[in-house]
Amino acid sequence: MFDRVWLNANLATMQGEGLGPIEDGAVAAKDGRIAWVGPRATLPLPLAGHAAEITDCAGAWILPGLIDCHTHLVFGGDRAGEFEQRLAGATYEEIARAGGGILSTVRATRAATEEALLAAAAPRLQALLAEGVTTVEIKSGYGLEAGTELRQLRVARRLGAAHPVAVVTTLLAAHAVPPEFAGRRTDYARHVAEVILPAAAREGLADAVDAFCERIAFTPEETALVFDAARAAGLPVKLHADQLCDFGGAALAARYRALSADHLEHASPEGIAAMARAGSVAVLLPGACYFIREEKRPDVAAMRAAGLRMALATDMNPGSSPALSLLLMLNLGCTLFRLTVTEALRGVTVHAAAALGLADRGRLEPGLRCDLALYRIARPAELCYWIGGNPCCGRVVEGL
Ligand code: NIG
Ligand code: FE
């Protein structure tokens, strides 16, 4: 009756408002979907007996497979040199304004072949998977011209095909102004809207569209040009918003009913309330906050009070968050942003799924994809508690 059954496990189902814990639970899969989940004692026993494969989890905890809903993991080169410059006193913003930062990764990415980008990105992806990630979002944004932007997205698709993981792609051509458009920022935003975005949509390479709305990147008006084009192409939008200053990004994201607005360290209470009303998810990126030594924290208390859903992600990128561990982000989310364990864990499962517009995963519930992460831990809080180490002892993607 079932293809596979996992027994002798504790479950964090994420059903309801909390972790939805079930001690001594069982999960059953059929055709890649969860067919049954609940306490082992209530498992329809004759059916379990007919499962093709039964796994004894020896007391492990099973969570929905983790979802890293914000990464830039396809890029050329690295920025360790800039890290040293920052250690010597330069700020992230100063380096960007001097033509380094994102633009230095653009130079390295443009120079890299599709094969080279794939080879560089694969180990980064594998590091995330090893911790129990089963869905990952990957953005472009280091090409800033059609050819390289599409190449990055093609690499992201190929990574998904070559690994047991679901990859969701996002076009982030509006990430910085390329040298060809120096001094013509609005013209570049129009070029993204009229040329790059339609090309990515035509080739089916983008599942969503993102932009960097910031004083070192694009204004809300320029971002709106890109978002209008996304709407015309039928693509959902996301936004890098209010990371370095309050630039009205959260409110803009809400106006476009964005799936998410991300960063939000400087988002205003009004912006946060607007996002909650629009149903957008707040994606918190403690790795970036930590790594660029941003002192302002996202207003988690206001987000809670507004009933805004909060997700957590690595923001894996060479400049502001060279983070290859989503589990570490759980720890940073709790320590730096004061998230509760429940908030942090829902942030990498059910709310991360919402940040990607995916209704078919993020919880353990019949009918959803059977994506599971198994951990050798005594209680879920351990996933947020350890700094380093990896208790992941099993991973299942679509029942396999
Ligand atoms: O999410 N904020 C813009 N984009 C990235 C950083 C990109 C980079 O520095 O290469 C971020 O922090
Ligand atoms: Fe980012």
State the ligand closest to the CA atom of 289.
1
Position 49 scores a pLDDT of 60
Is 351 a known ligand-binding residue?
no
Question: Does 178 sit in the ligand 1 pocket, CB within 6 Å?
Answer: no
Residue 190: its pLDDT value, please?
Answer: 98
Q: Which residues of 126-164 are buried (b: 16+ CB within 10 A; e: fewer)?
A: ebbbebbbbbbbbbbbbbbbbebbbbbbbbbbbbbeebe
Question: In sequence order, what are the beta bridge partners of 283?
Answer: 262, 311
| Long-range own/partner contacts, residues 382-391 (CB < 8 A, 24 or more apart) | 383/63, 383/327, 383/330, 383/341, 383/345, 384/330, 384/331, 384/333, 384/334, 384/341, 384/344, 384/345, 385/331, 386/327, 386/331, 387/328, 387/331, 388/325, 388/328, 390/130, 390/131, 390/327
At residue 197, the pLDDT reads 98
How far apart are the CA of 319 and the centre of ligand 2, in A? 10
Q: Structure pTM?
A: 0.98
**Strand extents, DSSP E, the chain:** 4-12, 21-30, 33-39, 53-56, 61-64, 66-68, 133-139, 166-174, 208-213, 238-241, 260-263, 281-284, 310-312, 372-375, 392-396
Dist. CA 319–CA 53, nearest whole Å:
45
Q: Is the CB of 294 under 6 A from ligand 1?
A: no
Using alpha carbons, select from 289, 357, 372, 367 the residue that is nearest to residue 137. 357
**For a substitution probing ligand 1, which of 68, 102, 216, 329 has the most ligand atoms within 8 Å of its CB?**
102
This complex has an ipTM of: 0.93
Give pLDDT, residue 47: 62
Mean pLDDT by 10-residue block, N- to C-terminus, for the chain (400 residues)?
A: 94 98 97 97 74 91 99 98 95 90 97 98 98 99 98 98 98 97 97 98 98 96 98 98 96 98 97 98 98 95 98 98 98 98 99 98 98 98 98 98
Q: What number does the ligand 1 atom closest to the CA of 263 have? A: 1
Q: Confirm if 198 and 209 have CB atoms less than 8 A apart.
A: no
pLDDT recorded at residue 230: 98
For residue 391, what pLDDT is reported?
Answer: 98
The CB of 169 under 6 Å from ligand 1? The reply is no
Report pLDDT for 295: 94
At residue 74, φ and ψ (nearest 5 deg) are: -100, 110
Report the alpha-carbon distance of residue 190 to residue 208 in Å, rounded. Answer: 18
